[in-house]
Structure 1
Amino acid sequence: MEFFLPLNYPYSFEKTIKRLRTFEKSSFAAAGERLSRTIHGKRGPLLCTIGPVKGEKALHVKIEGSLAEGEQETLKQTLSRMFSTAVDLTPFYEQMGRDPVLAPVIAAREGMHFVLEPSLYECLIKTIIGQQLNVSFAATLIRRFQERAGGKVSFHGREWPLFPTAEQAARLEYEDLQALQFNRRKAEYVIDLSRLVANGELDLDSLWELNDEEVLRMLLPIRGIGRWTVECVLLFGLGRPDLLPAADIGLRNALKRVYRLDHQPSEAEVRKLGEEWAPYRSYVTFYLWDTLDNMKSG
């Protein structure tokens, strides 16, 4: 199956996927201008390949695998949401263009959109695995978890990793993950959460209907989930536009550099600065994080 996703401009596919090409925790494989990864379809694993269309304001998507009747529309919605193709950032750029400090930071990244995880379960599990770990080791654990619970599938003679379903992960024992170098507590968090989802005790799809505070109230009581974890789900799972993770160290370091402060701003100072960014605080945060990536590479 092949189809096109129209883009709301300004949209830069190159800037949007730049981090995915090198980010160790990325589930995508890059080939030229195109990205590929597996997702779960109604009849089994699917391989999705997406890339720009020369001279057109659209992305070309190719889906390989066994499709159920009527599944095309669902996949269009999923891929559109993942790549934020319907998000119009024009008002954001107009607003931030009036900010003397942030305007050049934002303008240099015009067209850069969030790329979301295909499911809230995958986003939540990856975030829990990454808690208090460096990116490299977190990526290693995610890969091991995928291979142990989700396995691999073959397309074009190549094996592709497949992120497990909650049902697959729920069948594991804590010791299975400890054997992969998960500590006991994190193994419990991952498997217990998977069992909640698999048993129907936690309906992650219901989060789409809740506001940010309601999502926090629903997820925070679950063992292993703190505010940082929920904020990551709000950003990279639900794509909420006005979230400010004021305690995030990366954001505070970026603000210190961009505003040329002689100290790392406190959480309260970040919230004060962020008042001027509403209703696009997620995007300002995202663009500021990108300045840190540039600083590392430069």
Structure 2
Amino acid sequence: MTRLELAPTGIYSFEETSRRLTQFEKSAYQERDGRLVRTLCIGAKPIAVELWWTGNALAVEIGEDLSPIEMEELTKILRRMFSLDVDLTPFYHRIDGDPDLGQLVRERRGLHVVLDASPYECLIKTIVSQQLNLSFAGTLIRRLIEISGERLSHRGEELLVFPTPAQIAKLSYEDLQQLQFNRRKAEYVIDLSRNVVDGSLDLGKLESLSDDEIVKKMLPLRGVGRWTIECLLLFGMGRPDLFPAADIGLRNALRKVYGTVEQPSEEEVRRLGEAWSPWRSYAVFYLWDYLSTTKKSS
């Protein structure tokens, strides 16, 4: 058994962060006795990790011994995923002057974006989720994992491991259609995975590119539109200044926050967002969270 504690940089609320995780990432995280449980891959090795908050650090427990190199890799993955090195103090200072947005941000103080385990996982989940409600998207993602991913035994139960590109690439379009994927989406998911396997799409090289360069590189791919790329940039790569001004959810949230009769135009949204740079990703993320919680309570 291996245990470690990972301290965050700056203000961090695991309660707020895990609240959103368990609401939107049910295919990846389970709650067990006050802990979050999910699977990860260290290299090609699948492991189960249990996560909880000690009061000032993210505690991690793995039910097996890891080598020093594996421990280093796991630490790197978790610090990246849970945005432990993202200090939100400058963001809070920037937003404090806005009496409307500042209030909802203060109510969520310490909420951090949690990234998917890899850009590939994020991209596949986002493509599957296109134009679907949250519940059905989650069902399809789980079915995809069940048909192609490995299974890992942990504390007497079976956990699913998100599939590799090679595992999804082996599927036929008909395999996914039998799971209620439409034909086009089945093609998008499998063809993209095959592109990763044959090297024509190298997601690892995206890290060195700017947001605009990534948009330009990814847009020609079938099934990958601007919304999908923006989700990849935010939830797959943790880019801090993403601003999807055309997003309907963002515009609805702004209408509620600022009490306007009509939804703001894309141009008006962009003008508002200028004041939040270089933290527009977090402004958007907090607004999305505000919208989801107000819908839930209404």
- For the superposition of Structure 1 and Structure 2, which TM-score range results when normalised by the shorter chain? over 0.9
Q: Gaps spanning 5+ residues in structure 2: where?
A: none
What's the C-alpha RMSD, in Å, of the aligned pairs? 1.4
Task: Give runs of aligned pairs for residues 253-292 of structure 1, distance below 5 A.
Answer: 253-292=252-291
Distance 1:252 1:21 in 2: 25
Aligned-pair CA distance for 1:68: 5.5
Q: Is the Cα contact below 8 Å between 1:96 and 1:102 reproduced in 2? A: yes
The 3-state SS of whatever aligns with 2:99 is coil
Per the normalisation by structure 1, the TM-score is: 0.96
- Paired residue for 1:11? 12
Verify the 8 A CA contact 1:7 1:86 in the aligned structure 2: yes
CA contact (8 A) 1:197 1:203 kept: yes
- Report Cα offsets for 1:85-112 as digits up to 9, x if no partner: 1110001111111112211111111100
**Bigger share in helix:** 2
Cα distance, 1:85–1:134 mapped onto 2, change above 3 Å:
same
The whole-number CA distance in structure 1 between the counterparts of 2:192 and 2:184 is: 12
User: Partner of 1:143 in structure 2?
Assistant: 142
The alignment of Structure 1 onto Structure 2 pairs a total of residues equal to 296
Paired residue type of 1:104:
Q
CA positional deviation for 1:12: 0.4
Q: Given the superposition, is the C-alpha separation of residues 66 and 173 from structure 1 closer, same or farther in structure 2, using an over 3 Å criterion?
A: farther
1:161 is aligned to: 160
Secondary structure of the 2:287 match is helix
Alignment partner, residue 107 of structure 1: 106
Rounded to whole Å, the distance in 2 between the matches of 1:25 and 1:185 is 25
Task: Note the 1:23-102 alignment, pairs <5 A.
Answer: 23=24, 25-54=26-55, 57-65=56-64, 67=66, 70-102=69-101
* CA–CA distance in structure 2, aligned partners of residues 32 and 8 of structure 1: 27
- Runs of 4+ in structure 1 off by over 3 angstroms are 64-69
120-129 vs 90-99, which deviates more? 90-99
**What is the match of residue 218 of structure 2?**
219
Deviation at 1:31, TM superposition (A): 2.3
Whether the 8 Å contact between 1:9 and 1:88 is mirrored in structure 2 is: yes
Q: Report the counterpart of residue 174 of structure 2 in structure 1.
A: 175
Could you tell me whether the CA contact under 8 Å between 1:29 and 1:36 is conserved in 2?
Answer: yes
How far apart in 2 are the matches of 1:71 and 1:50?
Answer: 17
Give deviations 1:202-258, integer Å, cap 9, x for gaps. Answer: 111111111111111111111110000000000001011111111111111100000
2:147 & 2:117 partners in 1: Cα distance? Answer: 20
Structure 2 counterpart of 1:195: 194
Structure 1 residues 24 and 92: CA distance shift in structure 2, 3 A: closer
Aligned partner letter, 1:167: A
Paired residue secondary structure (2:115): coil
Relative to the length of structure 2, the TM-score reads 0.96
